Structure 1
Amino acid sequence: MPEHVSFLQLLGASVLALAAVLWVIGLARVLRAFRAEQPSRHRSEALSALPHQRQPAPDLEAVELTPAERDAFAGLVRQLNGGR
């Protein structure tokens, strides 16, 4: 036992280390049990924690632009691209 460390300090460090080991063992058991309860899933699911959509997305809509609107849009794109 080191001379500059009291018995209570060594006892406290030992108790804390033992508590940490027991906590890790308990956490591992809980996670293992949780994984065993769930049905097997594909590992490729990126966001499995998010709930699934209850209804499908709305159909895509398309609107035909008039020639004047197409020209205005092209001018806006040129303006935002710096004239390119």
Structure 2
Amino acid sequence: MPQHVLILQLTGVAALVLATVAWVIGLTRILRQTREQTAELRSGHPLPTLPALPRQRQVGPALESTALTPAEEDAFAGLVRQLGGC
């Protein structure tokens, strides 16, 4: 050990090296899991669902419509004429 380097400095460098190694290992695991999940999606196997999350709808809501009376149609046509001039 060089004399001009303090033990605290060496400890700090060692802690940074250990943190870097732990970060690389964690990142490698996350990337590997992501790659496996992507392969499962491409192969058609469904991913496991979390019980705390609500299930997603497979289809949208039904289309709703209402018939307008002739007076409502006239009022709507007048509104469209007014806004069309803007």
TM-score, normalised relative to structure 2: 0.55
Partner Cα separation in structure 2 for residue 51 and residue 64 of structure 1: 34
Alignment CA distance shift 1:40-1:69 (3 Å): same
Q: Specify which structure has the bigger relative contact order, considering alpha-carbon pairs within 8 angstroms and separated by 6 or more residues.
A: 2
Q: Among 5, 8, 13, which residue is 1:10 paired with?
A: 13
State the aligned residue count.
Answer: 71
Task: Identify the residue that residue 56 of structure 2 maps to in structure 1.
Answer: 51
Task: Identify the residue that residue 76 of structure 1 maps to in structure 2.
Answer: 79
Q: Among 49, 54, 67, which residue is 1:63 paired with?
A: 67
Query: How big is the shift at 1:57?
Result: 4.7
Structure 2: state its 5+ residue gaps: 45-54
Query: How big is the shift at 1:36?
Result: 2.9
Structure 1: state its 5+ residue gaps: 42-49
- Between structures 1 and 2, the one with greater helix share: 2
Query: How big is the shift at 1:29?
Result: 1.5
RMSD: 3.4
